[in-house]
Chains A and B, each alone.
Chain A
Amino acid sequence: MIKILMKVSSMRLLAENLSARRGEDLIFTDISFTLGAGESLVLAGRNGSGKSTLLRVVAGLLHPETGRVAWTSESSESGMRAAEACHYLGHRNAMKAELTVAENLAFWKSLFGDVDGGKGISPAEAAETVGLGGILHLPFGYLSAGQQRRMAFAKLLVAYRPVWILDEPTAALDVNAEGAFTGLINAHLAAGGIVLAATHQPLGLENAKELKMTGFAGVAEGRW
């Protein structure tokens, strides 16, 4: 373990002075953080406080109003976008209901490819890891909401990305699965990964930093 940490210790996800706007309103202003290997950040705050917006900004899906997100690691070329080092698990599962689970996972595995520093596991192993080994042949649409969520999580395992961005990862999950997920996230952290998660339920991560989002920064500070 120590060796792994040493090897990847130069990884850094850096966010500087991020602000984001939705329509007219600034949702948050001047958020900065740095996450190194094995570190995690949990975003907390009530609905509409900008947790998902911040995650989407870090994932490169929204343009920040100010600030930047940067990714550095030993193996990354200087021009690498932060988004390319990230897995993003949003509210929607990004799986096709018409295709079987195996086809879905194999497709993402092949499209993602592995980032330097790790290797993804096979779709069958990933399904086994999330506790749904026997149903790879079923169309994704046949699964229950909780099973779909688990399979969406298995998608994170089939290709290696150092950073996991998780938006409400445990929605629709039973208590057992929640525990299993926490175990997987902790394993990712122990292997030198970085986790950025927004959640209402405590995830039970070891020594996670917490960021409280208050929302509508622009209104509170009189900035438009």
Chain B
Amino acid sequence: MTALLLRDLKLSVRAGGGALIGVLFFMTVVAVIPFGVGPDLNLLSRIGPAIVWIGALLSALLGLDRLFQTEREDGSLDLLLMQEHPLVLTVLVKCLAHWLGNGLPLVIASPLLGLFMNMDEVAIGATMLTLLVGTPALTFIGAVGAAVAVALPRGGLLVSILVLPLAIPVLIFGVSASYAAVEDPAPFMPPFLILVAITMFFAVLGPLGAALALRNAGD
């Protein structure tokens, strides 16, 4: 299983791996916002956490469809399905590798993009923390969509649309926790803990659903 984790990490940084693509897309989305809404610094800092979160959500969805599709195209998926390791565990490891390769770079890039949005240190820190906790949930949810659409030739957009409704709660609680850190009356902990709960919930349910879909995708 460690071998699978290392291989997927290697693949994500080699040519065509998509780790850099996600970060570049994230930067593109967030960097054009100030040009669009104009140089109103107060407005930018007010919408900053939401924009950074939306950018991270979209970039996280970007590479998800390839999670199982590349494995299926070269036949590796057949061999992964045949092994004695429980398929749920295989899927979980693939999700972890995908998050380390694609999700973690987004978290690391977010403080820089926070500066673009004129956010203060507390807001940047809170956004980074909520992204760190929330983006794994996006990967786990996306894994189900990727597994369902594994046999479709152009499943990319379909996967995004399939998983978007499930990803909305992550966005809502991520953004509200980030705002709660900077705005006084709202408490930070409740939305943050709900975000943690969502991630843990989907860490169990996502691999289960994805494994079920892959088992029955036989062709």
Contact = CB atoms under 8 A, between A and B. Distances in A.
B40 interface: no
Contact of B79 (A97, A98, A108, A110): A108
Interface stretch (B20-28, B70-78, B117-125, B148-156): B70-78
Interface residues of B, number: 25
B4 interface: yes
A101 to B, nearest CB: 13
Interface stretch (A28-36, A58-66, A118-126): A58-66
A92 B82 contact: no
A96 B78 contact: no
A94 B84 contact: no
Q: Which of A90, A91, A96, A99 is the most central at the interface, judged by chain B CB atoms within 10 Å of its CB? A: A96
Q: Which of B3, B7, B16, B82 is the most central at the interface, judged by chain A CB atoms within 10 Å of its CB? A: B82
Nearest to B72: A92
B14 A99 contact: yes
A60 B74 CA distance: 18
Contacts of B14: 98-99
B3 A61 contact: no
Interface residues of A, number: 29
Contacts of B82: 59-61, 83-84, 86, 88
B36 interface: no
B16 A98 contact: yes
B78 A61 contact: yes
Interface in A87-131: 88, 90-99, 103, 106-108, 110-112
A62 B78 CA distance: 10
A99 to B, nearest CB: 6
Given A62-B218, A111-B3, A99 B11 contact: yes
Interface string B4-24: 101100110011110000000
Nearest to B77: A94
A107 B84 contact: no
Nearest to B79: A94
Given A59-B82, A84-B84, A111-B1, 16 more contacts: A61-B82, A62-B218, A63-B218, A83-B82, A86-B82, A90-B78, A92-B73, A94-B74, A94-B79, A95-B74, A97-B74, A98-B11, A98-B14, A98-B17, A103-B10, A111-B80
